[in-house]
């Protein structure tokens, strides 16, 4: 991707609060029209990045560009961004209509047009007729929509969202996620979204920046993050993952032969520089890529014997935990209902076989 598409750029941005380093030499770009998420645990710096984009904090070093314009001397009220705050920040002394119209005063739009746009905005967030209500007469979800309308009515180049769904209950949150995505697609504005919920990020985003300790660990699409994580930390953060220590015995033709703890001699695709002879690394495999059976499969696929420790029934799928000699932690295996019910029921402590396809294995460097 050429740089011409980069709509928002962070160039070596750091933020220090006294001696605390909240953001550590961050550099990445966001393209126009993307739904981009900043994902990470609390304290990773994602909200600080958002606030720097909005102009509420200034980077200690580094530069932020929006639409090719440097933002270092641009205060929040002159930036082409608008933000939906975590607790919505709906002005209690104004009604919904006045809240939504609040920012239009600075765009010098005449009254009739303002009224029309406010009505349009209310329709867009599915709150028609709520114009006269006040903040304390709205539910959490409704306030969130008002905050959205208030920000979007300004037609910003970038919309910043600070964990806007955090305060909602699960069902409402899932509804709102779909609505947000549909909204973004119809409006076409670049959304930058902060969340600590990886499922949410995977659902909504075109690309995600996984952050920890002020650094971006990996910036990629949800699919790439899931299937090709670059580190143990990222792999572990997104979804569930099994890890095994291994040493490389040989590398040729894009494949590596490894000696893995508990699994013995295995083969895996090798397409990174760190996969060299005698290197110590981690083999990772997703639970749904492991196949559980009561007998060893006859098709010659790589397999290992283990003992079933626990199983959990989750309605649409089963989670199994299998311990294998030589491996510290049990392997998590996810199997769809249908697959499991074909076999005879599995007892605790029964002997089982785990098998996998070679290209399901991911090689990761040691930390």
Partner 1 sequence: MIKATTENATPVMRSSSWRGRLHALYLRSDTLKGFTLLSPTLLVMGLTMCIPFGIMVVMSFWTQIGFEFDTAFSLVNYVEAVEKPMYRALLLRSLTISAICTVVTVLVSYPMAYYVAFHVRKHKMVWIILMTVPFFSSYLLRVFAWKVILGYNGVINSGLKGLGLIEQPLAFLLYSPTAVVITLAHAWAAFAILPIYISLEKIDRSLIEAATDLGDSPVKRFLGITLPLSMPGVIAASLMIFIPTVGDYVTPALVGGPDGIMIANLIQAQFGLVNNWPMGAALAFDMMLVVAVISLLYIWLTRKVTENIA
Partner 2 sequence: MNEVAYIDRANRPLYFYAILYLAFLYIPVLFLPLFSFNDNIYIAFPLKGFTTQWYVTMFNDQPMWAALNNSLRVACVSSAIATLLGLFGAKAVTRYRIPGVKPIIFVIMLPMVVPLIIMGVALLILVTRLGFDLSLYTIAMAHVLISVPFAMATLMSRFEGFDPSMEEASSDLGASPWSTFWRVTLPMVAPGIVASFLLCFTISFDEFIMAFFLGGTDPTLPIFIWGQLRFPQRLPGVLALGSLILIISFVLVFFSLWLRRWGVEDTKSGI
Q: Is residue 307 a contact partner of residue 290, using CB atoms and an 8 Å limit? A: no
Report DSSP state, residue 226: H
Residue 88, judged by CB atoms within 10 A of its CB (0-12, 13-18, 19+), counts as buried
Cα 150 to Cα 167: distance, rounded to the nearest angstrom: 19
Q: Is residue 281 a contact partner of residue 274, using CB atoms and an 8 Å limit? A: yes
Shortest Cβ 106–partner 2 spacing (Å): 3
For 45, 253, 333, the CA distances from 353, given in Å and listed in that order, are 43, 29, 11
What is the three-class DSSP state of 266? strand
Q: Is 144 in the site for partner 2 (CB under 8 A)?
A: no
Q: Is 68 in the site for partner 1 (CB under 8 A)?
A: yes
Task: Using the minimum distance from each CB to partner 2, give the nearer residue, 100 or 268.
Answer: 100
Task: Using the minimum distance from each CB to partner 1, give the nearer residue, 10 or 165.
Answer: 10
Site string for partner 2, 28-57 (x = CB under 8 A): --------------------------xxx-
Task: Using the minimum distance from each CB to partner 2, give the nearer residue, 55 or 229.
Answer: 55
Q: Is 105 in the site for partner 2 (CB under 8 A)?
A: yes
Q: Is 6 in the site for partner 1 (CB under 8 A)?
A: yes
Task: Using the minimum distance from each CB to partner 1, give the nearer residue, 177 or 218.
Answer: 218
Contacts of residues 294-302 at CB distance under 8 Å and 24 or more positions apart, as own/partner, are: 294/343, 294/344, 294/346, 294/350, 294/351, 294/352, 294/353, 295/353, 296/353, 296/355, 297/353, 297/355, 301/355, 301/356, 301/357, 302/263, 302/266, 302/267, 302/355, 302/356, 302/358
Query: How do beta strands 264-269 and 280-285 pair?
Result: unpaired
Q: Is 63 in the site for partner 1 (CB under 8 A)?
A: yes
Shortest Cβ 36–partner 2 spacing (Å): 19
Segment contacting partner 2 (CB under 8 A): 104-112, 123-131, 293-301, 313-321? 104-112
Q: Is 29 in the site for partner 1 (CB under 8 A)?
A: yes
Cα 216 to Cα 224: distance, rounded to the nearest angstrom: 15
What is the three-class DSSP state of 112? helix
Chosen from partner 2, partner 1, none, partner binding at 87 (C-beta under 5 to 8 Å by type):
partner 2
Q: Which residues pair with 356 in a beta bridge?
A: 302
Site string for partner 2, 59-88 (x = CB under 8 A): ----------------xxx---xxx-xxx-
The CA-CA-CA angle for residues 91, 96, 101, to 5°, reads: 85
Q: Is 91 in the site for partner 2 (CB under 8 A)?
A: yes
Interface with partner 1 in residues 195-254 (CB under 8 A):
216, 218-220, 230
Binding site for partner 2 (CB under 8 A): 17, 54-56, 75-77, 81-83, 85-87, 89, 91-93, 102-103, 105-107, 150-151, 154
Binding site for partner 1 (CB under 8 A): 1, 3, 6, 9, 11-12, 27-29, 58, 60, 63, 65, 68, 70, 72-73, 75, 216, 218-220, 230
């Amino acid at each position: 991707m050429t740089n011409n598409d980069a709509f928002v750029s962070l160039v070596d941005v750091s933020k220090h609060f006294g001696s605390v380093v909240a953001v550590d030499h961050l550099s990445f770009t966001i393209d126009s029209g993307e739904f981009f998420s900043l994902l990470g645990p609390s304290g990773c710096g994602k909200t600080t990045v958002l606030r720097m984009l909005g102009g509420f904090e200034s980077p200690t070093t580094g530069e932020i560009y929006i639409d090719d314009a440097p933002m270092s001397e641009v205060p929040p009220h002159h930036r082409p961004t608008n933000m939906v705050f975590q607790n919505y920040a709906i002005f209690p002394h104004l009604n919904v209509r006045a809240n939504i119209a609040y920012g239009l005063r600075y765009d010098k739009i005449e009254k009739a047009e303002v009224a029309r746009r406010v009505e349009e905005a209310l329709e867009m967030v599915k709150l028609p007729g709520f114009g006269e209500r006040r903040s304390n007469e709205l539910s959490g979800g409704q306030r969130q929509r008002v905050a959205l309308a208030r920000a979007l009515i300004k037609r910003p180049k970038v919309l910043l969202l600070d964990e806007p769904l955090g305060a909602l209950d699960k069902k409402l949150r899932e509804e709102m996620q779909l609505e947000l995505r549909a909204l973004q697609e119809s409006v076409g504005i670049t959304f930058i979204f902060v969340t600590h919920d990886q499922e949410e990020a995977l659902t909504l985003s075109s690309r995600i920046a996984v952050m920890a300790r002020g650094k971006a660990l990996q910036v990629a699409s949800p699919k790439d993050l899931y299937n090709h994580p670059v580190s143990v930390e990222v792999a572990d953060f997104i979804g569930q993952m099994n890890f095994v220590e291994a040493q490389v015995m040989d590398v040729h033709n894009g494949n590596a032969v490894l000696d893995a703890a508990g699994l013995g001699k295995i083969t895996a695709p090798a397409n990174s520089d760190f996969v060299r002879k005698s290197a110590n690394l981690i083999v990772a495999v997703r639970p749904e890529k492991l196949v559980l059976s009561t007998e060893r499969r006859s098709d010659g696929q790589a397999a290992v014997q283990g003992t079933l420790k626990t199983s959990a029934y989750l309605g649409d799928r089963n989670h199994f935990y299998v311990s294998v000699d030589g491996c510290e932690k049990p392997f998590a295996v996810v199997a769809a209902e249908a697959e499991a019910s074909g076999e005879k029921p599995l007892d605790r402590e029964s002997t089982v076989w785990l098998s996998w396809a070679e290209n399901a294995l991911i090689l990761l460097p040691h930390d």
